[in-house]
């Protein structure tokens, strides 16, 4: 699993209410884990590959 566990068990509805768009989290089996952010270089490369993929349109 990635990231540190942030909470004890919560419902999916509670997770959606608490979700912060500034930080990335994942919800697994009632627990919320903080996800690591991607580097700026990764974002640039990923963005270029999406734009060059004809199936992404």
Question: In angstroms, rounded to a whole number, what is the distance separating the alpha carbons of residues 39 and 57?
Answer: 25
Asked if the model's pLDDT at residue 43 lies above 80, the reply is yes
Entry pTM: 0.47
Question: In angstroms, rounded to a whole number, what is the distance separating the alpha carbons of residues 46 and 18?
Answer: 28
Residue 21's pLDDT is what? 63
Give pLDDT tens digits for 8-41: 788 999 888 877 667 788 888 888 888 887 788 8
User: Confidence band (pLDDT; 50, 70, 90) for 53?
Assistant: low
State the Cα torsion 17-33-46-49 to the nearest 10°.
-80
Tokens of 40: 């700026």
């Amino acid at each position: 699993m990635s990231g540190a566990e942030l909470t004890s068990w919560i419902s999916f509805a509670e997770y959606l209410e608490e979700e912060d768009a500034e930080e990335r989290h994942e919800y697994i089996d009632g627990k919320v884990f903080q996800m690591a952010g991607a580097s700026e270089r990764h974002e640039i490369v990923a963005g270029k590959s999406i734009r060059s993929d004809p199936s992404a349109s």
